[in-house]
Structure 1
C-alpha cells in the first residue's frame, strides 16, 4: 500500500530575537496606584529563549529562593518555591513591536492554552519586554511589567 507523502510545513522565524536571553530585571507597576515593585527582588534570575522554529520558553525565578531542608519539600516549602516562579513554553509570533507567546505548557495552568501579548524592542544586546495591562498572576492586581533581558553570547 502506498501512503501519500505529506510535506509538513515547518514554521521559520528569523530576526534579532533569536537565541537565549538572561533576565536582568523584572519591575511590575500597579496601574491603580502607579507603585512600582520588583516582585522577584532586585536580582531575579531566569532565561528566555526564542528558536528559529518559532518555539519559545521562559523561566523566571525570584531572588533568594530557599533550598528545601530535604530532597522532598514540605508543603510550605513548595508554596514558597511556587510563589517565586514563572515558567512557560510554546510558540511565538511577531507582528510589529508585539510578540505573542502562544502558551502550550505553564507553571500556572490558567495560562496554558492562552496567548500572552507583549510589547518588545531590542537595543544592542538588550531585549525590553512590557506586558500589556492585565491582572498580574502573582498579585491579582491590574498591572504592567517591564522585563529587561541581556543576550547570552
Structure 2
C-alpha cells in the first residue's frame, strides 16, 4: 500500500451527511443535523461503515421496522485506493442488491477530516429522483 493508503487507516466518526442536487446545488440533511455513524479502514484492506439517522425509534411494528431500514446504511468489504477514490468490493450489506458489487466513493482528506462523496446518481430520497450525490464528512477518532 502507498503512503496515501495508510492515511485512511483507523476509525472515523461521522460529523454530517448531506445530499446535494446536481442541477440546483441545493443541499439538505435528510437524516438530520446530527446523524450517527462510523467508517473504519483496516490496515488489512477491509473497511466497514455504519450510518444512521439522527432520530430513530425502536422497531416493534412493521411500520417502525421499515422506518429503521430506511434510515440506516451499512456495508463491509475489501477496499482499494485509486487516486482520489476508494472502491469497495461488498461482502455484506444492509442492501442485498449491493452484495458482490463494487461501490466507488471519491474522497478528500484534510488532516483529521475526511469528506466522502458518492457518484452523481438519481436521488431516491427526493420526489422525482433528481440527479444528486451524498456527501459525508468524518473526523478521525
For the criterion TM > 0.5, the same-fold answer is yes
Note the aligned Cα RMSD (angstroms).
Answer: 1.7
* Unaligned stretches of 5+ residues in structure 1: 1-11
- Picking from 31, 42, 48, the partner of 1:40 is 31
Asked if 1:112 is matched to 2:99, the reply is yes
C-alpha offsets along residues 23-79 of structure 1, whole Å, 9 cap, x if unaligned? 0001101224432111111100100000011001100000011134xxxx2101101
TM-score (norm 2): 0.88
- Picking from 41, 48, 67, the partner of 1:50 is 41
Residue 78 of structure 1: aligned partner:
65
Tell me, in whole angstroms, the C-alpha distance in 1 between the residues paired with 2:106 and 2:134: 10
Query: Max radius of gyration: which structure?
Result: 1
Kept after mapping to 2: 8 A contact 1:97/1:119: yes
Asked if 1:146 is matched to 2:135, the reply is yes
Alignment of structure 1 residues 95-106 onto 2, 5 Å: 95-106=82-93
Asked if 1:60 is matched to 2:51, the reply is yes
The count of residues paired between Structure 1 and Structure 2 equals: 137
Kept after mapping to 2: 8 A contact 1:120/1:127: yes
Asked if 1:18 is matched to 2:18, the reply is no
- Picking from 19, 22, 37, the partner of 1:31 is 22
* Unaligned stretches of 5+ residues in structure 2: none
Query: SS of 1:143's equivalent?
Result: strand
Query: SS of 2:65's equivalent?
Result: helix
Tell me, in whole angstroms, the C-alpha distance in 2 between the residues paired with 1:55 and 1:25: 23
